[in-house]
Amino acid sequence: MATTPLTFPPPLPSHRPSSLRRPVLTLASERPYPSSQELLPLRKIPGNYGLPLIGPLRDRHDYFYNQGRDEYFKSRVLKHRSTVYRTNLPPGPFIAPNPRVVALLDGKSFPVLFDVTKVEKKDLFTGTFMPSTELTGGYRVLSYLDPSEPNHGKLKKLMFFHLQSRRDHVIPEFRSAYSKMFDFLEDEIVSDGKAAFCPANEQAAFNFLARSLYGVNPEELKLGLEGPKLIRKWLLFQIAPLLILGLPKPLEDLAIHTFRLPAFLIKKDYNLLYDFFYYNSGPVLDFAEQLGISREEACHNLLFATCFNSFGGMRILFPNMMKWIGRVGLVVHTCLAREIRSVVRASGGDVTLAALEQMPLMKSVVYECLRIEPPVPLQYGKAKRDLLIESHDAAFQVKEGEMLVGYQPMATKDPRIFHRAEEFVAGRFVGEEGERMLRHVLWSNGPEDKSPNFGNKQCAGKDLVMLVARLLVVELFLRYDSFDIDVGSSPRGATITLTSLKKATF
Ligand code: HEM
Whichever domain contains 401, its CATH number is 1.10.630.10
Q: Ligand 1: distance of its center to the CA of 69 in Å?
A: 22
Residues 6 or more apart whose Cβ sits within 8 Å of residue 97: none
Look at ligand 1, atom 2, and give the residue with the nearest C-alpha: 313
The pLDDT of residue 492 is above 90: no
Lowest mean pLDDT: which of 9-23, 232-246, 456-470? 9-23
Q: Tens digits of per-residue pLDDT, 350-393?
A: 999 999 999 999 999 999 999 999 999 999 999 999 999 999 99
Asked whether the predicted pLDDT for residue 78 surpasses 80, the reply is: yes
Is residue 486 within 8 A of residue 499, CB to CB? The reply is yes
Residue 42: inside a domain:
yes
Range of the domain at 207: 18-503
What is the rounded CA–CA span in Å between residue 448 and residue 34? 19
- 255-263 contacts at long range (C-beta below 8 A, 24 or more positions apart): 257/60, 257/64, 257/90, 257/91, 257/92, 257/95, 258/91, 258/93, 258/94, 258/95, 259/94, 259/95, 260/95, 260/131, 260/132, 261/236, 261/237, 263/132, 263/134, 263/135, 263/237
**What is the model's pLDDT at position 494?**
87
Cβ(500)–Cβ(396) under 8 Å?
A: no
Task: Determine the average pLDDT of the residues in 325-343.
Answer: 98
Is pLDDT at 244 greater than 50 in this prediction? yes
Within-domain flag for 10: no
Residue 29 pLDDT greater than 90, yes or no: no
Listed residue (482, 66, 492) closest to 238, CA to CA: 492
pLDDT of residue 84: 98
Does residue 404 have its Cβ closer than 6 Å to ligand 1? Answer: no
Does residue 3 form part of some domain? no
Residue 224 has pLDDT above 70, yes or no: yes
C-beta 63 within 6 A of ligand 1: no
Give the number of other Cβ atoms within 10 Å of residue 4's Cβ: 14
Report the separation in Å between the CA atom of 460 and the middle of ligand 1, taken as the mean of its atom positions.
Answer: 6
Instruction: List, in order, residues 6 or more apart from 63 with CB less than 8 Å away.
Output: 69, 72, 89, 90
- pLDDT per residue as tens digits for the range 35-46: 555 689 999 999
Q: 246-287 pLDDT, tens per residue? A: 999 999 999 999 999 999 999 999 999 999 999 999 999 999
Q: Is residue 369 one of the residues assigned to a domain? A: yes
pLDDT at residue 12 is higher than 60: no
Q: Tell me if 459 CB under 6 Å of ligand 1.
A: yes
**Residue 39 pLDDT:** 87
Tens digits of residue pLDDT in 186-201:
999 999 999 999 999 9
Instruction: Assess if residue 308 is contained within a domain.
Output: yes
Rounded to whole angstroms, how far apart are CA atoms 409 and 88?
19
Within-domain flag for 6: no
Confidence (pLDDT) at 489: 84
Number of domain units in the chain: 1
pLDDT at residue 24, as a whole number: 54
pLDDT at 161: 98
Using a 10 angstrom Cβ sphere, with 0-12 exposed, 13-18 middle and 19 or more buried, the burial of residue 36 is exposed
What is the reported pLDDT for 27?
66
452 Cα to the center of ligand 1, angstroms: 10
76-99 mean pLDDT = 97
CA distance 401 to 420: 36
Percent of the chain with pLDDT over 90: 91
Enumerate the β-bridge partners of residue 104.
Answer: 84, 406
Q: Which of 309, 320, 458, 467 to mutate to test the pocket of ligand 1 (most atoms within 8 A of CB)?
A: 309
Rounded CA gap, 399 and 353, in Å?
46
Residue 254's alpha-carbon distances to 27, 250, 261, 320, 439, in angstroms, are 47, 6, 11, 30, 41
> Within a domain: residue 1?
no
| 8 confidence band (pLDDT: 50, 70, 90) | very low
Q: What is each CA distance from 123 to 69, 93, 224, 361, in whole angstroms?
A: 23, 18, 33, 38
Q: Which atom of ligand 1 is nearest to the CA of 374?
A: 5
| Å from CA of 431 to ligand 1 middle | 28
DSSP string, 163-182: HHHTGGGHHHHHHHHHHHHH
Q: From atom 7 of ligand 1, which residue's Cα is the shortest distance away?
A: 444
Distance of CA 87 to the CA centre of its chain: 24
Mean pLDDT, to the nearest integer, of 61-70? 97
Report the nearest atom of ligand 1 relative to the CA of 304.
Answer: 35
Q: What is the average per-residue pLDDT within 437-453?
A: 98
Query: Are 443 and 374 a contacting pair, CB within 8 Å?
Result: yes
- Ligand 1, atom 19: closest residue by C-alpha: 459
The stretch 197-223 carries a mean pLDDT of 97
CB of 158 closer than 6 angstroms to any ligand 1 atom: no
* pLDDT tens digits, one per residue of 167-180: 999 999 999 999 99
In angstroms, the CA 33 to CA 19 distance is: 29
- Are 433 and 6 in contact by the 8 Å Cβ rule? The answer is yes
Residue 125, pLDDT > 70, answer yes
- What is the 3 state secondary structure string of 105-128? CCCCCHHHHHCCCCEECCCCCCCC
The helix-helix angle for 330-346 and 462-479 (nearest 10°) equals 100
The candidate with the shortest Cα–Cα distance to 315, out of 222, 239, 251, is: 239
Q: Is 60 exceeded by the pLDDT of residue 6?
A: no
Distance 445 CA to ligand 1 centre (A): 8
Contact 5, 28 (CB under 8 A): yes
Residue 11 lies in a domain: no
Q: Which atom of ligand 1 is nearest to the CA of 155?
A: 35
Taking CA atoms only, the protein residue closest to ligand 1 atom 11 is 459
Which string of DSSP letters, residue by residue, matches 288-308? Answer: HHHHT--HHHHHHHHHHIIII
Q: What is the mean pLDDT of residues 196-222?
A: 97
